[in-house]
Every structure is written in structure tokens, then in C-alpha cells.
Amino acid sequence: MNLTDLVTGGVGSKAIEAISKMTGVSESKAKWIVAAAVPLMIAALNYNAKNKGQSENIDKAIDQHSGGGIFDKIGDLFGQGGSDDGNKIVNHMFGQNTEVVTQNIADKAGISSAQVTGVLATLAPIVMSYLGQQKQASSGGGIGDLIGSVLGGGGQQGAGGGMLGGILGSFLGGGQEEPAQETQQASTGGSMTDMLGGLAGSFFDKSNDGQSKGNILDSIAGMFAK
């Protein structure tokens, strides 16, 4: 199972159906929510591990959520509207940008930010559990290698994660902004890690307005919901 399977495969399909019932949106809109939110979570985890010294903590969190039983009760999880643990994971993933993610998904999906908060808090443990299963099945390596393999390319994708971290750095970490040209190049070519990094970096760019961020979310969703 790779990230596309998580978004649109068996697990993703269960999540999409549950989100549709939870929020009252169509299943196509629920699919868009999953396909936009989950890759952003992966991108944020990758950046936090590589650039904020959180790799050890993320590894531990992944191990704590490595049980596969969560995939058998997805409908029940969404019925609960998200847990405190899920909210903590989301806040660790996005930090000061949590509200940006929540509000822009809400605006684009046409639902309340409170509903999106519940969706994200339920998706986050599922993502961590998925990564835990992938880690158990892997032959070792750090969190960057794990995420690189999840995005579909083993060592090559893992190497591309460096660009992902660099592009996201100014937006998740509050440093100096990366040149727009570099972001554009990463968005249009290279590995899937590079493309996701370019799109996610553009999403977190404070100079982009709500409409631009919505278009970027469409592009991210389009990478995984085909």
C-alpha cells in the first residue's frame, strides 16, 4: 500500500464514506478533503523530522500508532468526531499553521472549520498508523527514507525529501522565504516528493490569498485522487 492507496484505496474509501456521512458533503467532496489533507500531513511530518529536530519524537509516535486495528473501525472513529490524541497530532504536524490548513480546507469544501477540525483529528491517527505499518514492513532507515518510500520511490524519493524540507522550511519554520522559481520547478517536475514539496510550500506561503491556496489544494488532491 502506498500513499495513493491510503487516499483512494480500501482504507481511503472507508474514510471518504465516513467523512461524507459526518459532514453531509458528497463523497466526491469527501474524497477531495482526504486527498488534500493527507499529503499535507505527510509533507509536514517530513519537514518537522528533517528540519526541526523532531525525527526521534515522530518515530516514537509512529511506533505508538503502529497497530493495524484502527483500519477496521474507521467509520466509528469519524462518528466520534476526532479524539484529543488526534488533535494533538494535528497540532504537532502543522504547528502555527493548523488554523491555516483547517480554514482553507473548510472554505474550499464548503463546511465549517469545526467539522474540518474533527476530520483532521480523525485522519491524523490513521496516517500515523499507516506509517507505522510501513515502518514495520521496511528494512530500516530514518523517517525521511520511510516517507520517501511511502511517496513511491524508495531511495530516490527519500533524497528528494531534502528539497521538500527546504521549500517548506520558510513556511512551517518561519525562516526566510524560498525563491518562487525553485518552488515552481519543484511543482512541475522531479519526483513526487519534489512536486508535493513545491505545492505544500506554496500553500503555506503567506503571500498567497485564499483563492490561490484553494487552487493549490486542488493540485495536491489531484496528485493522489485520480
- At 24 the pLDDT is 87
Q: How do the domains of the chain map onto residue ranges?
A: 3-150
Residue with cell 513526487: 192
Q: Which residues of the chain have pLDDT under 50?
A: 153-189
Quote the CA–CA distance of 212 and 17 in Å, as a whole number: 28
Place of cell 469545526: 114
Contact (CB, 8 A) for 198 and 187: yes
On whether the CB atoms of residues 224 and 43 are closer than 8 A, the answer is: no
Q: Which amino acid is at 33?
A: I
- Decide: residue 209, CB within 10 A, 0-12 exposed, 13-18 middle, 19+ buried: exposed
Q: What is the pLDDT of residue 85?
A: 85
Q: How many CB atoms lie within 10 A of CB 75?
A: 13
Predicted pLDDT of residue 166: 38
Mind listing the pLDDT tens digit for each residue in 50-106? 777 788 888 888 888 776 566 666 766 666 666 788 899 999 999 999 999 999 999
pLDDT of residue 154: 39
Give the integer Cα–Cα distance in Å for 194 and 199.
9
pTM of the predicted model as reported, rounded to 2 decimal places = 0.79
Task: Quote the pLDDT of residue 130.
Answer: 85
For residue 13, which amino acid is it? S
Report the chain's terminal Cα–Cα distance, integer Å: 16
